[in-house]
Structure 1
Amino acid sequence: MKLNFSEEFQMKRKVTDDTRTVFSGSDIKREVTEDETPVWKKPRTNRQDSSYETISTEVPFVTPLGAPLKYLNRNRFTSLWIALPRADQSRLLKFVLGDKPIEGLPGSFKVFLTDWLMSVQQKMMQMLENDDLRKTMKSVNVKCHESIKRSDERICTFLQKTLRTILETQKLFIFERELSWIIFIRRFAKNWKLKEEIDETVLTSVFAELSKKAKKEMSSFFTGSQEHKSKEAKVYYCHILRFVVKFTFNTLRHVFKFDSENSTFFYDGEFEEDATVYQRSQWGNVAEENEVKPCHLLPKEVVSRVPPPNFPSSLTGDDGAGTWRRLNSQFVSDESVPRKWIDAFKSQEARWEARYQELKAEIRELKEEKRRGLN
């Protein structure tokens, strides 16, 4: 069975040997094993009646991550550094599982994953509040207004310090020392072609490198036969790793401006949406990166036009309730609509209100002049 690599990526792998490099803590090259095959298929045997065996539909597939370039460009999608700290705790699992159903998750694994994401969220909030990202940049000797090549070791050092602070935990087996997951991430950040799709095979290859103890502990969250438990553990492990890889690129994007033509990062001290006042609470839910598409988020009745202001029937000033501009209630109540979109509407609402007050003042002046003329 051919793995889901592009031809270009396969040719690159064959330059040194007809083998594939496994992204792990080791530089050892070895042949592809059965454990590294995509998680949703089982390779054919030589028996004539054999066929591809699919995993139960209860086990969600691992969504391909896509090309890293889209996670490095600012303002195209909502960054995890903006979305995750603002998210309600009830939505945290979606950052790892996406649109996959979570009802079927074993209770113990759901609690375990939720606790970890709450810890990640809390650490991110603390880093933002304490300006730790700038401090880390300074500690690795990155100067303001400096352009840095993607291969620069300072970028890897910055990632290592930041990711360890936020993601490291002794309870999450993806981060066991023998796996050297940081090295996996470093190679991804430095060497992966930015327009090259990241598929499931790359993620599952890391699972193959886990120790037997880690695999056993990971599969202990699930029920059924040992084979089924192992498959479920692999799938959810890859979901977590997918989140970690995306978080890595979003971290670079949050502090650097990326020049895709020269593959260089530019640091000017201005972080993404840095002008926004950071608050611990009163932030609405923000859709994840792959969900932020206007035509999918906006209700049908507001896709084609901005909802008009609700001007009062008269401009006499007697209708006090009429001064309030009501936003489209369906638009505002939709939890999947990014907060910045709602803020944009509210800004426009404020401009309408200011203009309305100006008109009221002009009318009062005209009435006053008219009364003076009559007298």
Structure 2
Amino acid sequence: MRVGIAILSYKRCDITRHTIEQVQRHTKADHELIVVDDGSPDNTQNMLEELGVAYIRGPNCGVVWNKNRAIYYLHEMRHCDVVILLEEDTFPMEDGWEQAWIDGAKRWGHVNLAPSHWPLNDRIGGTGTVSNPIISRYVTGQCCSFSREALSVVGYLDTRFRGYGHAHVEHTTRFLRAGWGGYIKSGRDHNFYLIRSPLKVTCLDKPPPVADYSKNGDVFNSIRHDHIHRWCWRDEEEMAVFHTSFSTLSRSGIPVPTISKRQWFLSDNTDQNLVWDPETQVVISTPDKKDERPRVIATVSGETVQFKVLRDQTFWMTWEQPGEALLKEKRSEAATFKLIYGKNGGVGFFYNGLFLCTDHNFNDHIVLSRPEMKNWEVFHFSGFSDLEQPNNNPMRSDRIQDWPL
């Protein structure tokens, strides 16, 4: 029995540290622990390095992406029989706390927390044990567990949700539709299985962002009858951004997925390809999909990106500040950009206080010039570089549509 526990974190360094220590102190079953951080701008990464804890860290993409990173790692890469997700503000207070979550996943496929701060006056039944879980029409995501079989059928949280609200409920509802974690009565009443656990939930004084909740409510209603299984990305671009997170595993001696080191072609916010123009010695975007000028290639490593072009040899790119691109023969001379995930999709490239931008007022030149990421600063990954795409590669971009989404 392989058990995986993931602690999800964002911008709560001290709280995350305490939860890690509590999990290490009170977990008695053999397990694998991973901390999954959503690009916290505080001292979280240094703290994790100091503690020597295995961790995954990606660009800030929100709670849906962060939970999917955790599930993907423990389910797809480590092949865990039981996956337990624990938010950083929720920690165990008693030894052996994990056993109920293991047993609950094995018995019901998926179970959620019955928080001690919930009155549960409107519960339908149950006492909160594994054999007799509380039946509730409400569910929360502070702690939950999954069996391998259930995850294989239902998959991941839907990436159409952005920010706070509804994503965990929709995910859990799909488990009910597949026969795990509760039941649906009369085709519309969702009854979730919750278990009591010696977990303390903190940080309850922060109100949820109402705007996110409302938008995600619309998403929930629009997708509630979609197919049950979802993958953790919906297109090549999301796949590219998703896999940038796993490069940090190498620091813990864990093999990094090959796809985390892929190289990508790029397009701008109008779907024009980025190419190097040898005549004018600049990077531009072009609408001609058959343009034979060298395409710009993004080499992604974790949260950082460098750019190159292939001519008679490989040339790496740096940028004047602000200004146009320059070619360099040595990779050590290339500019290293930070990868920023856009709130509405796409990515931005940030370097020394400025974003790359497609200047549509200046012949679609790609320049380093803008301090904020708006429309012209959005780019898209548009497929693997040819040199990185062997014909027998199951992750080829032209096969994406064959995957369950």
**TM-score range normalised by the length of the shorter chain:** under 0.3
Higher RCO, Cα 8 Å, sep 6+ = 1
TM-score normalised to the size of structure 2? 0.23
Q: Would you tell me which structure has more helix in proportion to its own residues?
A: 1
Larger radius of gyration: 1
